[in-house]
Structure 1
Amino acid sequence: MSLTNIAIIGGGACGISAFIELFLEFRIAKSHKDVSITIIEENEEVGKGLAFGTKQPGHILNTQADLMGIHFTEPQHFSDWLIEHEARIGDEVVDNQGENRAFTTRRLYGDYLKEQFEHYFQLAQSEGMEVNVIHASANRVSKLEDGFEIHLSENQSHKCSILLLAPGTPVANNYPELEDKEHYFGSPWPSSPLLEKIPKDENVGILGSSLSAIDALMTLTDNEYTGKITCYSPDGLMPRVQPEFPQKVECRFLTLRNLHEIQRKELRNPTVKEIFRLFMQEAEDNAGGKIDWKATERIGKPAGELLKEDIRIARDGGDALINIPYSLRYESSEMWKWLDESEKLKFKKWLGAYWGVSRHCMPLVNAERVNQLFESGQLTVISGLKEVIFDDEKNEFVLTSEKGEKFSEKYLINATGPASAVKMMKSELMQNLSEDGLVEPEKAGGIRINTETMQVITGNDTYSNFYAVGHITNGLLLDVNAVWFNVKMIGKLSRHLTTQLIGNPS
């Protein structure tokens, strides 16, 4: 009897978590010898992709250790691992070493992922399960009568019965016309091209001011760059600062219960306006009085001044505008699923920027380093970016603001963050999957999936043997850049997949 092969495209955090959970499910059901698993990973090391393959000490996880476990229902597994390996981790833990509140370097987390993968890969082999890794790039998929054929680099291919897409966070391809310019860097990762090609005393422009831009800043400052650094972005907003000891908010107004009450009484989903009104009630209740909401607007205010205030707020335990989103981390995705597509698009347009900087903050240690760059005059943030072109005569990039101001840069790093829409993803695989009709873009971002099973949907059809997880599902699932959330969804996926193959284990 031929084995049922499950192919996982991607050997990052999502791919590793899926592999481990599937192995455990099949082994416990004693069906592991009837199934084989193949992981397709383009990098030499599984677990060391763009995010966690970095060597820069300033590239720090933006989530505390007790939410970074790679195992289903064990989010604290990474913090336990830190305590167990305290003697070997040294400066890789930025603060509160050995405690759940620790923030660590991404390279240490990459070591953790690699170690977990290698352990369970060897365990699967020793238990008699057929598992293997193909180190190649997946660039296209063909649908077969009984599965899929994955077309790989070097004219290779692999056939499978079940396909799981876990390609990681897609780099944005929002400036394709600049890609062939010598001094343009399409992503902050990997950092080696930046360090090899940008002289340390040169001025540098960074497109974006979010967490990706913070990574670019840390790369430059870790390596003692002395030139002026300017961040250009449409809104000029930098991530807010995570409190060392965030205050948990017990929400009374913005709750699943209250949103479900709207569904029950009005026979419709809640609107963005209703959700925001509940958020305002929650924030004022938490603050103990009325909030001057106009004063909370950040666009147009100097980024350096905002950062100083955010550092002060973080040291005091955060404010309602940070603590409420963080306290809702386990409910926010369900709330998001209850919004109609048109309301999701309104949320992104009206509130997306503020949600992003308040829900995805930077660790205090990096905020203090960025503050030093502002104070020394080395860093400037310019908002209102409208256009970027390359002047061939002057051999420089020209950036134009909404006010018509023009700026020029010889070196330019694109740190605008991961792509949300499929058409903006710099991925041959995703473009081909969309072009061939194997995935269908969701208007709010990513691709269409069944959010309960993670099966891919196109048209009115759900693929019974095609799954997707991670950032490529961002339109239908809100927290897809959080490891704990993706691991939770992988648990659902694994249980559905194994039940499809072997039924409910007794």
Structure 2
Amino acid sequence: MTASITIIGMGACGVAAFAEATIRLAASPQPGVSFDLVERDDDLGPGLAFGTDQPGHLLNTESRLMGLYAHEPRHFRDWLRARRALDEDAAEYAPRAEYGAYVREVFAEARRRAEDAGITVRVHRSEAVAIEGGRDDAHVRLTDGTTIAADYVLLALGTPKPRRFAHLDGRPGYIDFPWPAARLRNGVDRDAEVIVLGSSLSAIDTLATLLDEKHRGRIHFVSREGMLPRVEIPAPEAPFERRHFTLSAMHRLMRERGRRFSIVDLFRLFRREAEEASDTPIDWRAEDRFGGDALAALDIDIARAEAHGELFQRILTAARYEASEMWDLLSPRDRARFGRWLAPHFATARFTMPIVNARRIAAAGARGQLTVRGGVASTEWDDDTCGFVASFADGDTLRAPVVVNATGTAMQLDDIPDALVTDLVARGWLHAHPSGGIEAHRHSGAVITRDREAPRLYAIGELVNAVQRDTNAVWFNVACAERAVQDMLAKVAGTRA
């Protein structure tokens, strides 16, 4: 009996899934299992996130967490050490181009492992645009006319470009996504004033590209919140023993009170954890940076990181392995409240930037080249001046000939312009989760659909952001890829029993 597994998207997530599958099948063969690997880009492995060659594009996660093999988070660190000297007492945020080379090597090794084990692997350099048929006769249709018979399909679609600000599409000087970096290198005059929509990690990557290219014009980060990510402590992660902000404490509250855990409970536990761990009283009003002076706060954050004193970061990173299960304890109503009340503050403390990037931003601000502003209300095209106008809640405006949409990846299902996603939604095989992405099983990534005859679909990465929460972290996606592969192979074995 044969079983075909199709992986759509061969960036880091797809490679991690394929590598895990070949490891398991080489160790415990299941004859007849084959793989179809679909990737629209010529370069298999790095994907959009790690296909960059910009020297200023660094990983935002320390190398000790970036291994692509399940249960081997340090594998990338070991790979680096075999190629160049590393300071074992320092954190290492490698260039993304270097990580792209690592992903290519993991993929090549997985292909060799498959060949040695007699596993059939077919690579399709095309784009998947539809899945036709049903549970027992599914076919993936590609833009080159190829159709692939698939018993199981894993959607590893990577970083979806959002539809936000679609009203600016086609305007001269509008760049709807900062990736690939060549769009900025080739599309922005070095003396042009630039408005960057967003002030988080994607905006920082945009700034890095422009500064790498010796940009001379002023650059403005504009967003609703006006906050920058906090700064990663420049040292290997130190242990932090949580006493209150734990999955155990949350579950205990539910058991004792007989009602669901709430977003208010979540913040109270975090606050208690921070206050007990802090050597000095915490000024919570000062820590609310919404609409504040982001560059002044950055100076504070750099000093805290250098002193290893970024407490919020230490608490949240220590909780990373429980975060998905914590999220699962919240009701849909409280997840929505989290998005409105806490999400921006959580993101700045959890998804931090390397200190080298922080210093680069601070230097750009100090010389007057960079501003960071909150309270943006709209960004429009002005026919009279043939340029863009960003309007703020206080009535102020900002004009520039170039706008870069760096608001991050698409989170809501209807905000993802991918042709395959659109097709699957139209067929009723993908359903929007109220907090973002699609409905899927939190553990296995199996897509939840109301159509019992739908193809056997799985998803990892941003497509399941609301269910699994930490889907912008490679280490988390590697763990999810392992579970998805484990579930698929168990089902293949079960049909043969």
**Matching of residue 232 in structure 1 with residue 222 in structure 2:** yes
Using the alignment, how far apart are the partners of 1:386 and 1:11 within structure 2? 37
Match of 2:62 in 1: 64
Higher alpha-carbon deviation: 190-199 or 423-432: 423-432
Q: How many residues align?
A: 496
Q: How far apart are 1:465 and its partner, in Å?
A: 2.3
Match of 1:307 in 2: 298
Match of 2:25 in 1: 26
SS at match of 1:251: coil
2:97 counterpart (96, 107, 110): 107
Q: How far apart are 1:171 and its partner, in Å?
A: 1.5
Within a 5 Å distance, the mapping from 1:291-302 to structure 2 comes to 291-302=282-293
Using the alignment, how far apart are the partners of 1:218 and 1:402 within structure 2? 28
Higher alpha-carbon deviation: 256-265 or 468-477: 256-265
Using the alignment, how far apart are the partners of 1:232 and 1:435 within structure 2? 35
* Alignment deviations for residues 174-216 of structure 1 (CA, whole Å, 9 cap, x no partner): 0111111121111111011211121111111111000000000
* Alignment deviations for residues 139-196 of structure 1 (CA, whole Å, 9 cap, x no partner): 2222424142222113333221111100012111101111111211111110112111
Using the alignment, how far apart are the partners of 2:320 and 2:356 within structure 1? 23
Contact 1:16/1:117, CA 8 A, preserved across alignment:
yes
SS at match of 2:49: coil
Using the alignment, how far apart are the partners of 1:98 and 1:279 within structure 2? 31
Contact 1:29/1:505, CA 8 A, preserved across alignment:
no
Using the alignment, how far apart are the partners of 2:133 and 2:383 within structure 1? 44
SS at match of 1:455: coil
Change (3 A) 1:464 1:261: farther
Contact 1:4/1:35, CA 8 A, preserved across alignment:
yes
Using the alignment, how far apart are the partners of 2:293 and 2:372 within structure 1? 8
Match of 1:93 in 2: none
**Matching of residue 144 in structure 1 with residue 134 in structure 2:** yes
Change (3 A) 1:394 1:476: same
Using the alignment, how far apart are the partners of 2:297 and 2:397 within structure 1? 24
Match of 2:47 in 1: 49
Aligned residue type for 1:409 = A
Using the alignment, how far apart are the partners of 1:478 and 1:228 within structure 2? 35
Aligned residue type for 1:64 = E
Change (3 A) 1:505 1:452: farther
SS at match of 1:479: coil
Aligned residue type for 1:371 = A
Normalising by structure 2, we get a TM-score of 0.96
Higher alpha-carbon deviation: 317-326 or 4-13: 317-326
SS at match of 2:492: helix
SS at match of 1:457: coil
Using the alignment, how far apart are the partners of 1:316 and 1:493 within structure 2? 40
Contact 1:236/1:384, CA 8 A, preserved across alignment:
yes
* Alignment deviations for residues 81-103 of structure 1 (CA, whole Å, 9 cap, x no partner): 1111227xxxxxxxx55677311
Using the alignment, how far apart are the partners of 1:176 and 1:99 within structure 2? 46
Higher alpha-carbon deviation: 206-215 or 77-86: 77-86
Using the alignment, how far apart are the partners of 2:426 and 2:377 within structure 1? 29
Change (3 A) 1:504 1:257: farther
Match of 2:425 in 1: 434
Change (3 A) 1:460 1:338: farther
Change (3 A) 1:194 1:451: same
Contact 1:455/1:463, CA 8 A, preserved across alignment:
no
Change (3 A) 1:318 1:418: farther
Q: How far apart are 1:332 and its partner, in Å?
A: 1.2
Match of 1:183 in 2: 173
Using the alignment, how far apart are the partners of 1:309 and 1:340 within structure 2? 35
Within a 5 Å distance, the mapping from 1:187-266 to structure 2 comes to 187-245=177-235, 246-266=237-257
Aligned-residue CA RMSD (Å): 1.9
Q: How far apart are 1:461 and its partner, in Å?
A: 5.5
Contact 2:67/2:75, CA 8 A, preserved across alignment:
yes
Change (3 A) 1:147 1:98: farther
2:390 counterpart (379, 395, 399): 399
Contact 1:147/1:465, CA 8 A, preserved across alignment:
no
* Alignment deviations for residues 299-345 of structure 1 (CA, whole Å, 9 cap, x no partner): 12211111111100110103222211111111111100111111111
Using the alignment, how far apart are the partners of 1:130 and 1:19 within structure 2? 12
SS at match of 1:326: helix
Using the alignment, how far apart are the partners of 2:468 and 2:257 within structure 1? 24
SS at match of 2:330: coil
Using the alignment, how far apart are the partners of 2:87 and 2:104 within structure 1? 21
**Matching of residue 469 in structure 1 with residue 452 in structure 2:** no
Match of 1:318 in 2: 309
Match of 1:11 in 2: 10
Change (3 A) 1:425 1:62: same
2:148 counterpart (152, 155, 158): 158
Match of 2:161 in 1: 171
Normalising by structure 1, we get a TM-score of 0.94
Match of 2:379 in 1: 388
Contact 1:44/1:135, CA 8 A, preserved across alignment:
yes
Using the alignment, how far apart are the partners of 2:468 and 2:349 within structure 1? 18
* Alignment deviations for residues 217-272 of structure 1 (CA, whole Å, 9 cap, x no partner): 00000110111111111111111100113543211011111111122223332100
1:348 counterpart (333, 339, 362): 339
Match of 1:489 in 2: 480
Match of 1:91 in 2: none
Using the alignment, how far apart are the partners of 2:403 and 2:436 within structure 1? 26
Within a 5 Å distance, the mapping from 1:107-126 to structure 2 comes to 107-126=97-116
Match of 2:79 in 1: 81
Higher alpha-carbon deviation: 13-22 or 263-272: 263-272
Change (3 A) 1:183 1:120: same
Percent identity (aligned): 34
Contact 2:375/2:394, CA 8 A, preserved across alignment:
yes
Q: How far apart are 1:294 and its partner, in Å?
A: 1.2
Match of 1:92 in 2: none
Using the alignment, how far apart are the partners of 1:464 and 1:84 within structure 2? 43
5+ unaligned residues in a row in structure 1: which ranges? Answer: 88-95
Using the alignment, how far apart are the partners of 1:108 and 1:331 within structure 2? 29
